Amino acid sequence: MPDTVAFIGLGAMGAPMASSLIGAGFALRAFNRHPERAMPLVERGATACASIADAVRGARFVVSIVSDDDATRAVMLGDAGVVASAGPGAVIVDSSTNTPSMAREVAQAAAARGLAYLDAPVTGSVPQATHRELVFMAGGDAAAFAAARSLFEGMGRMALHVGASGAGATLKLVNNMLSGTMTAALAEAVSVAQAAGVDAQAAQAILVEGPAGSRLMRSKLPKMLAREFSTQFQLALMDKDLRYFLALA
């Protein structure tokens, strides 16, 4: 029998991550506040659940990816939330971008009920989630991380255990601070180059080879030069992440 995974949160990242787990052979139960988001997964064999409690009851693993600390507190610590409803021995993988203090609070509550909680956010956005190229940074119990290895492999290309509870959340905020500031700096650079009349293709070829050349530049620079604004990551979420980073710092 395949391991059962309860997946909470089917947004821009959660939906392709959940789809990857189906492709990896897990039995998936899905919950989302807007039930229609689960329908594409149901067509591939997942079970849509009417509540978090229904989704997590008896599941070997629980994966959650929601917007912020408030959403995580509701999902994890609500009266019928994950911690109250999951069976003993379940491993909770929280890929939300939360504060380290939130991660430690949930980890403590989970441990009191015989559950393992990993704060395991990701690098990458929708394209990486879709193509199983995410990188996970996990804080929490090393044995729980080892137990969840097949889960991480089903959704991404790399997973590292980075320390105790809260370490994954900390590293994710550092990562997103760099992402946010580099994107803003790149936008300034592009604006100056365009205002000066520099050839766009030449600018792209040179800047990618320079000291700031990176995956972020390779993905964002062509979109900026083309003034192509399709969403990969909401500005509201980046604003939240940078506020969390400033509080951490």
Q: What is the pLDDT of residues 41-68, one digit of tens each?
A: 999 999 999 999 999 999 999 999 999 9
pLDDT value, residue 135: 98
Give the pLDDT confidence of 115-125 residue by residue, as tens digits: 999 999 999 98
pLDDT at position 139 over 80 = yes
pLDDT value, residue 232: 79
pLDDT at position 95 over 80 = yes
172 is catalytic: yes
pLDDT at position 1 over 80 = no
pLDDT at position 242 over 80 = yes
pLDDT value, residue 236: 94
Give the DSSP H or E segment for 227. Answer: none
Contact 168, 118 (CB under 8 A): yes
Q: pLDDT confidence of 199, banded at 50, 70, 90?
A: very high
pLDDT value, residue 24: 97
Contact 110, 92 (CB under 8 A): yes
Distance of CA 148 to the CA centre of its chain: 15
Q: Measure the CA–CA gap between 230 and 14, rounded to whole angstroms.
A: 18
| Mutual angle of helices 215-226 and 167-195, in 10-degree steps | 40
C-beta neighbour count of 184 within 10 angstroms: 11
Integer-rounded Cα Rg, in Å, for the chain is 19
Q: Measure the CA–CA gap between 74 and 82, rounded to whole angstroms.
A: 9
Look over the chain and give the mean of its residue pLDDT values, rounded to a whole number: 96
Angle at 150 between CA 147 and CA 153, to 5 degrees: 135
Catalytic residue (one of 172, 220, 223, 240): 172
- In 77-123 the beta strands, taken as DSSP E runs, fall at 91-94, 116-119, 122-123
pLDDT value, residue 230: 85
Q: pLDDT confidence of 151, banded at 50, 70, 90?
A: very high
| Helix residue ranges, H only, the chain | 14-23, 39-42, 52-56, 69-77, 82-85, 100-112, 126-130, 142-147, 149-155, 167-195, 200-209, 215-226, 235-248
* Alpha-carbon separation of residue 200 from 171, 182, 217, 220 (angstroms): 34, 19, 14, 14
Region 15-30: mean pLDDT is 98
pLDDT value, residue 233: 84
C-beta neighbour count of 192 within 10 angstroms: 11
pLDDT value, residue 228: 92
Residue-level length of the chain: 249
